[in-house]
Amino acid sequence: MRKSRGGLWACRLVALWLTGTLQLPAADRKDPKAVEVAEALRQALGGDDAWQKAHFVRFDFIVTQGRATLVNRSHLWDKWTGRYRYEERLKNGRVKVVLFNTATKKGQVLLGGTPVPEGPARKELEDAYAAYINDMWWLAMPWKWMDPGVNLKYLGVKKRGQETDDEVELTFNHVGLTPGDLYHAFVSRQSHLMTHWDYVLQSHEKGSWDWEYGETHGMKLANNHISSDGKTSISMGVVRVLDAVDDAFFTDPAHWLAELK
């Protein structure tokens, strides 16, 4: 976890499913009851087939505290090829556009419509890739419990307000930038969705958020998160899984994501 330029403490876990370049862990630990909860969760989200068939994923990452917008960025991911479009609205009013591929981490960067030279662009590409990793985790983490490198431990039945949950601990087997992170996920026994998480990161930072979902293309993805103190929200915008988009979104800097209907 690190503090972003916009002031948000944001998870920087790099999962195998996002990069495709990490070494496989030696031996995952997934206890049977936790696996049972994970499988019910995946079915409640729409099932493995829906996630595997998802082609283009369009979402935002907008962090607000009161009336202040701390972070405002937009994403379009070609899940099948790794093509990516990233737009970030900066506090000076300019927009940063990064067109790259998640496999090669290579591409082009424009700031306020002006191309960024190759040297400075390398850092901007790294930042865009890190935002992709971070923001996608907030969007789709509940889909990834059964991935290689994820350990699952069942912690029992817990009552949170009017909801009865199964609590599962997630740890990581030497994968990612911050493998020492620890998550406690709370899965509703009524909806079988993960409705809350608490985390303690290897940086010793802590967080606690409620999760809300929207449905697109027969599957559920997060569309909003509320901090435990109610002061901060992370909106994923109008999340969409699409079968086709204009290739210009990945090649033309002026082909704005706001135009994607």
Give tens-digit pLDDT for 117-167.
999 999 999 999 999 988 999 999 999 999 888 999 999 999 999 999 999
**Which pTM does this prediction carry?**
0.88
CB 62, CB 71: distance < 8 Å: yes
Q: H helices within the chain, ranges in order?
A: 16-19, 32-45, 48-53, 118-140
> Above pLDDT 70, what percent of the chain?
87
Q: At residue 108, does pLDDT exceed 90?
A: yes
pLDDT of residue 45: 97
Q: What is the mean pLDDT of residues 234-249?
A: 96
- The CATH number given to whatever domain includes residue 96 is 2.50.20
The confidence band for 203, taking pLDDT boundaries of 50, 70 and 90, is confident
Higher pLDDT, 154 or 177: 154
Asked whether residue 178 is domain-assigned, the answer is yes
Lowest-pLDDT choice from 173-182, 183-192, 244-253? 173-182
SS3 149: coil
pLDDT of residue 185: 98
Q: How far apart are CA 56 and CA 244, in angstroms?
A: 7
> Above pLDDT 90, what percent of the chain?
77
Asked whether residue 101 is domain-assigned, the answer is yes
Q: How far apart are CA 248 and CA 68, in angstroms?
A: 32
Residue 136: domain span = 2-14+27-141+149-259
- What would the pLDDT profile of 74-91 be if each residue is shown by its tens digit? 999 999 999 999 999 998
Asked whether residue 94 is domain-assigned, the answer is yes
Asked whether residue 20 is domain-assigned, the answer is no
Asked whether residue 21 is domain-assigned, the answer is no
- Residues with Cβ within 8 Å of 49's Cβ and at least 6 positions away in sequence, in order, are none
Please name the amino acid found at residue 8.
Answer: L
SS3 164: strand
Q: At residue 18, does pLDDT exceed 90?
A: no
Q: Helix-strand-coil percent breakdown of the chain, rounded to 5?
A: 20, 40, 35
Asked whether residue 19 is domain-assigned, the answer is no
* Long-range contacts, 35-38 (Cβ 8 Å, 24+): 35/146, 35/152, 37/154, 37/166, 37/168, 37/187, 38/145, 38/146, 38/152, 38/168
pLDDT of residue 12: 39
Q: At residue 15, does pLDDT exceed 60?
A: no
Q: How far apart are CA 216 and CA 241, in angstroms?
A: 6
Asked whether residue 22 is domain-assigned, the answer is no
Asked whether residue 156 is domain-assigned, the answer is yes
The confidence band for 168, taking pLDDT boundaries of 50, 70 and 90, is very high
The count of structural domains within the chain is: 1
Q: Which two tokens stand for residue 134?
A: 């971070």
pLDDT of residue 176: 59
SS3 79: coil
- In the DSSP assignment, the letter for residue 142 is G
Q: How far apart are CA 132 and CA 134, in angstroms?
A: 6
pLDDT of residue 177: 56
Q: At residue 240, does pLDDT exceed 70?
A: yes
Q: At residue 180, does pLDDT exceed 90?
A: no
Higher pLDDT, 62 or 201: 62
